Structure 1
Amino acid sequence: MRASTNSTRTTRTTTIPRMTTTSTRTATSRARLTLVAACCWAALIASRAIAADAPVIEQIVVTGASALAIGDARAATGLAEGAAYTAEEAEAAMRLLLNAYADHGYHLADATIAVEPRPPDAVRVLIDVHEGAPTTVARLQLSGLALMADTDARELLGVEESRPYDANRLGAGIKRLSDAYSQSGHPLARITLRITVATEEEGDLELLIDVDEGPEVEFEAVTFEGMRKTRPGLLANIARIRPGDRYDSRRVSDARRRLLNSGIFASVHPVDVLRGSDAGHVVYRARVTEARTARFLGVLGYAPPTVAGEPAQVTGLIEGVETNILGTGRQARARWESGENRTSRFAYREPFLFGRRVALDMEWDAERYQGSRTRAARSSLDWELASTVSVSVGAQAVSADESSGRGALASAAFDTRDFRPNPSRGVLVRGEADAVTGGISFARFEADARAFASVAGTHVLAARATVARVAGSDIPLTEWLFMGGADTLRGYEERQFRGTRRLTGSVEYRIRTGRLSHVFAFVDIGRVSDADGAVAPKVGYGIGANLESRGGLVRFQYGIEPSSSPLDGKVHLSLGTTL
């Protein structure tokens, strides 16, 4: 028994993107599937019967291999000692072996397989490899290019003449070339690769790549499904794809990411790009499931007077949030907190001012902290310059006790996170600056950098670093930089440290358990300082969980400082109700 396999010509066809179409399953198709399943079951039974009579592989011997180690070549065949040997297995083994050689640059490798009977019902498999010369690209020829220069196409392919042939590198280059066409309005571009042998003795190959660029494609219609409350115009503003726009695969991906990150939808199904009325038109269809966008959080308590003659206090926290008012995407947030300190805050966001891609943010807050009272009103305009870049500018008015001042504020952000509420990859870099002059005078700057990397499966490594500085001749107490608590240094009291300069960092190892949920372990470090000195760096560590429930998001964090016992750890708990 002997088989020989030789590969000197390969043809590959790549077409992207693959258009998604819908079909209706009929009774006929179900009958066909049933027939196919029956045939497959019969073939499986027959193959098992054949395998039952097939000889068993006693030993696998590989000769002639040097570019691949003998063990690697044997493993590449997929054959195993003790398994049944059939002609089909032998043919598949040769294909796998030659593919492994092609991946290592030996495109002209050849191999033969033979068997020696071994009593009573076994065989010894003999594989002889003729590796040939390492293959190189003698010539690269491109045809069919009209919209792209030959030099640009070659750069995307990443293949150079007189260099070793690398099938994986060429495959990646073909994908880059296809993506370039898809991003320039030609998703139906077809790329065909033909490989021929120029000089077999020297291992030279000729690569012939033919490009059928196809027609330029436009969006004929943009449709959305699954909304009960949200207005279609809001989705169109978020997705930023309009009928008549030229097709671009990047815009399709960015649109889905924006829909996911809007906070309005519990899920956004993979976007369908359907064929339109002709080859030059497609239909964009997004299917969404709306989220509960109204949330309420409330905790109330009573604190009797600690000193005779002072009034009792109602303590607690009440917060209400609506992120999709009447289906328009407008947001409102109100918060009241009372305890040792008292805070009131109201914020409103108009996502598309006058129908433009500009958001208007307005905020008012009042705070009493250790006898100092501060009120502030701020408004800003937020532009999204690109899918990952945004900037904002605004004005503010601040009053502290008997003094007041006015000023400006600005920020810029670079955000590539895949899903902002619970990211698994991407970065966020944000810088903020504001200044106030008048009866009170101060300037503040803060930079925040975060990075997320998927480690394995649902495991995510998250890191964060912040640096902040505030300076001025009359800084209100509430405008100082604080450290300690759930947001900056877990394991310490809220606002335990304060200063005019602050540096913090944290690392979390997360395990995602749901769309918005994850459990994690963390380590925090931070330091604050002012003109009078610096607080030694502080460290906190612990565990936590963000858990999504029908009633809302439950946030739990337990932190401890190194010098404390576990019983002295700090617990930070937030319970939110979704309406």
Structure 2
Amino acid sequence: MLKRSIVIPFVLCLAAWAFEVDVREAGPLGVRAVRDAAKGVKSAEISDAVRELYIDEGYLMAEVFVRPDSARKRIAIEVDAGARAFVESFDVVGWEGDLPRMQTSTNKHFRRKDLALDMTSIVVELENSGFPFAVAKIETLNIGAPDNGKIPVRIAIGVERGDSVAIGAVLVPNNTKTQVHVIQKTMLIRPPEIFSQRLITAGVRRLNNLGYVRVVGEPEPVLDESGVWALWVNFTEGRTVLIDGVFGYAPREGQSGLSGQIDATFDNIWGTGRQIKLNWKQSGDDFLRFSTGYKEPFLFGGFGAMKLSADYHDRGNSYTERNFGAEYRYPLSFVFSVSLGGAIKSILPDSAGVARIPISRQTRIDFGAHVEKLYPRVNPTSGWDASFTISPVCVKRSGQALELLALDEFDAIARLEASISTALSFGRNFVLYERIVGRSVQLARELPLSDLYFLGGWGSLRGYREEQFSAEHIGWSNTEFRALLGGDAHGFAFFDAGAHKRYGEDAQLNVGYGIGLRLSTAIGRWTVAYGVAGGESLTDGMIHVGLSGRGDR
């Protein structure tokens, strides 16, 4: 039987005093470990706290002596660790096959926390192998007499697997609009699916990332009347009609001030997961963009999604562009997907741009790979996203500009686009968010404006006008240091850097910096930011005001 630690009684009111801890004999774990164990603990509980520390490390007969000195407001601690326990034998009864990696093993020091972790590992391994009701418990824990400074411990863990479960169906609340197949396919469940807690947890995260569904509690296996195991998924539904907007104002002399964009999203149409998006974007008289998109989430009843899009772009006093595209994306896992798409684009110069912009028709094929590990999707605090797309493009040109710009009638070019985003938490209330994007057109000659990428504005380089720069090669980074304010609200300071390179010219670097605030309200999530371009005075910045129905990153 283990000896009890010796606690010297003292006046209870002294427990409320601020005592200085004086560790006179710390034992083998050291002074710092003893101080940390006693930190923030009531005086009357210090002995138990320090002893628990030593028992966790295998000193099962440790004694802790605590002597208060009320006159000097000091508590003296002395530890007699005694012999340390080691594992003489370790067995797992009822387990078939190879064990997961165990912290506890024969001839190692006994640690109580390691044993608890091992039991959890056994249960988790079974839960991920079709046994959701598995239990692991200590069958025997025999402590022998000390011998040569060691205490032998003999351990046997008993395992009860419980029923094996294969999920044959998914059950959802009757009062929800979202159809059951949306839940099942978003969670990537293919009935009959062997129960796996790991995959279900990943499926719940994927469901929550939809934005209009929030899972309540943990999904549970239930046995229906026909004897088939089903997965019960309880969830609530959020808004499915979302209006997002961002407007900016730049008071700089000689520039058109007002710019902005509005997104209208209609999610989960008729509870099927289908989506329609409308987008309007304008920057003074410089350009106007309007786009529409439709998403069929489970094409032909499978797990892949098809997106169709149509875009109209009026580049003031230059050209108009029409683009029709399609993309099929298939999830290979909960976080990794591949995509195949394409688009047909036509460009028609206006009277002012006919000498600079050729008439052209372009056919593009897109091959993409995508990783989505940021969590949560709105205001993420951990994880990373990455995307890479390569697009061969066939271009046919005609018109007056063809000869003036020495362009070929036919061209084969390649477009490369890549991005990565990361979120890293510091403590409980601070997050560093970083996004890096690069885009490039691969062709060894100068291209007309209609074939270039654009840089600048709220979505890329804050503090500058929307699409202020154009080039064959662009890249930018957005760095935000966020202070979390509760919920998905936060204040942030940002630093943006963007580079663009035209054919035959040196690369140019531009930076922007500023501060902002994102707040959740009853009508949506407001974003207010003030950005200043590098080299400009603080009074010549751009004000961005945005409203989002669901939020952004």
TM-score category, normalised to shorter length: 0.7 to 0.9
Higher normalized helix content (fraction of residues): 1
Q: What SS is found at the alignment partner of 2:199?
A: helix
Q: What SS is found at the alignment partner of 2:4?
A: strand
2:535 aligned residue: 563
Residues 133-189 of structure 1 show CA distances to partners (whole Å, capped at 9, x for unaligned) of 44443433332212x32xx43xx2134443444443443333233211111111222
**Alpha-carbon shift at residue 224 of structure 1 (Å):** 1.7
2:414 aligned residue: 443
Q: What SS is found at the alignment partner of 2:371?
A: strand
**Alpha-carbon shift at residue 555 of structure 1 (Å):** 3.0
Q: TM-score, length-normalised on structure 2? A: 0.79
In structure 2, do the counterparts of structure 1 residues 200 and 74 end up closer, same or farther at CA, with 3 Å as the change threshold?
Answer: farther
1:362 aligned residue: 308
In structure 2, do the counterparts of structure 1 residues 384 and 72 end up closer, same or farther at CA, with 3 Å as the change threshold?
Answer: closer
1:407 aligned residue: 364
Q: Which amino acid aligns with 1:322?
A: F
1:534 aligned residue: 506
**CA distance, structure 2, for counterparts of residue 248 and residue 542 of structure 1:** 46
C-alpha contact (below 8 Å) 2:222/2:232 kept by paired residues:
no
Q: Which amino acid aligns with 1:321?
A: T
Structure 1 residue aligned with 2:27, among 61, 66, 75? Answer: 66
| Pairing 1:335–2:279 present | yes
2:380 aligned residue: 423
**CA distance, structure 1, for counterparts of residue 105 and residue 337 of structure 2:** 40
1:109 aligned residue: 61
In structure 2, do the counterparts of structure 1 residues 202 and 380 end up closer, same or farther at CA, with 3 Å as the change threshold?
Answer: same
What is the 5 A alignment of 1:267-286? 267-273=214-220, 276=223, 284-286=231-233
Structure 2 residue aligned with 1:145, among 85, 89, 95? Answer: 95
Q: What SS is found at the alignment partner of 2:55?
A: helix
**CA distance, structure 1, for counterparts of residue 480 and residue 70 of structure 2:** 61
1:457 aligned residue: 428
Residues 25-76 of structure 1 show CA distances to partners (whole Å, capped at 9, x for unaligned) of xxxxxxxxxxxxxxxxxxxxxxxxx96899x999998765431446854774
**Alpha-carbon shift at residue 101 of structure 1 (Å):** 1.1
Structure 1 residue aligned with 2:154, among 206, 231, 245? Answer: 206
C-alpha contact (below 8 Å) 1:400/1:476 kept by paired residues:
no
1:477 aligned residue: 449
In structure 2, do the counterparts of structure 1 residues 480 and 108 end up closer, same or farther at CA, with 3 Å as the change threshold?
Answer: same
Q: What SS is found at the alignment partner of 2:172?
A: strand
In structure 2, do the counterparts of structure 1 residues 570 and 248 end up closer, same or farther at CA, with 3 Å as the change threshold?
Answer: same
What is the 5 A alignment of 1:282-293? 284-293=231-240
**CA distance, structure 2, for counterparts of residue 143 and residue 334 of structure 1:** 61
2:483 aligned residue: 511
| Pairing 1:196–2:147 present | no
In structure 2, do the counterparts of structure 1 residues 374 and 108 end up closer, same or farther at CA, with 3 Å as the change threshold?
Answer: same
Residue range with higher mean Cα deviation, 248-257 or 165-174: 165-174
Structure 1 residue aligned with 2:200, among 234, 252, 259? Answer: 252
| Pairing 1:98–2:51 present | yes
**Alpha-carbon shift at residue 346 of structure 1 (Å):** 1.4
C-alpha contact (below 8 Å) 2:259/2:466 kept by paired residues:
no
**CA distance, structure 1, for counterparts of residue 18 and residue 322 of structure 2:** 84
C-alpha contact (below 8 Å) 1:318/1:336 kept by paired residues:
yes
- For structure 2, which runs of at least 5 residues remain unmatched after alignment? 6-10, 248-257, 349-358, 397-410
Residues 115-134 of structure 1 show CA distances to partners (whole Å, capped at 9, x for unaligned) of 89x999x9999876432244
**CA distance, structure 1, for counterparts of residue 422 and residue 246 of structure 2:** 33
C-alpha contact (below 8 Å) 1:226/1:287 kept by paired residues:
no
**Alpha-carbon shift at residue 384 of structure 1 (Å):** 0.8
Q: Which amino acid aligns with 1:398?
A: K
In structure 2, do the counterparts of structure 1 residues 476 and 366 end up closer, same or farther at CA, with 3 Å as the change threshold?
Answer: farther
Q: What SS is found at the alignment partner of 1:537?
A: strand
**Alpha-carbon shift at residue 395 of structure 1 (Å):** 2.1
C-alpha contact (below 8 Å) 1:435/1:443 kept by paired residues:
yes
**Alpha-carbon shift at residue 331 of structure 1 (Å):** 0.9
Aligned Cα root-mean-square deviation (Å): 3.9
1:308 aligned residue: none
In structure 2, do the counterparts of structure 1 residues 400 and 211 end up closer, same or farther at CA, with 3 Å as the change threshold?
Answer: same
Q: Which amino acid aligns with 1:255?
A: G
Aligned residues: 503
Q: What SS is found at the alignment partner of 1:491?
A: coil
Q: What SS is found at the alignment partner of 1:377?
A: strand
C-alpha contact (below 8 Å) 2:218/2:233 kept by paired residues:
yes
**Alpha-carbon shift at residue 444 of structure 1 (Å):** 0.8
Structure 1 residue aligned with 2:326, among 379, 400, 416? Answer: 379
Residue range with higher mean Cα deviation, 62-71 or 474-483: 62-71
Q: Which amino acid aligns with 2:197?
A: S
C-alpha contact (below 8 Å) 2:449/2:470 kept by paired residues:
no
**CA distance, structure 2, for counterparts of residue 62 and residue 299 of structure 1:** 60
Q: What SS is found at the alignment partner of 1:173?
A: helix
C-alpha contact (below 8 Å) 1:106/1:132 kept by paired residues:
no
Residues 182-201 of structure 1 show CA distances to partners (whole Å, capped at 9, x for unaligned) of 11111222223444345543
Residues 216-245 of structure 1 show CA distances to partners (whole Å, capped at 9, x for unaligned) of 134465322275433333223323446643
In structure 2, do the counterparts of structure 1 residues 129 and 530 end up closer, same or farther at CA, with 3 Å as the change threshold?
Answer: same
C-alpha contact (below 8 Å) 1:527/1:536 kept by paired residues:
yes
**CA distance, structure 2, for counterparts of residue 361 and residue 57 of structure 1:** 65
1:5 aligned residue: 4
**Alpha-carbon shift at residue 531 of structure 1 (Å):** 2.5
| Pairing 1:466–2:437 present | yes
| Pairing 1:216–2:164 present | yes
C-alpha contact (below 8 Å) 2:493/2:515 kept by paired residues:
yes
Q: TM-score, length-normalised on structure 1? A: 0.76
**Alpha-carbon shift at residue 525 of structure 1 (Å):** 1.3
C-alpha contact (below 8 Å) 2:136/2:158 kept by paired residues:
yes
C-alpha contact (below 8 Å) 1:332/1:348 kept by paired residues:
yes
| Pairing 1:392–2:334 present | no
Q: Which amino acid aligns with 1:67?
A: P
In structure 2, do the counterparts of structure 1 residues 58 and 276 end up closer, same or farther at CA, with 3 Å as the change threshold?
Answer: same
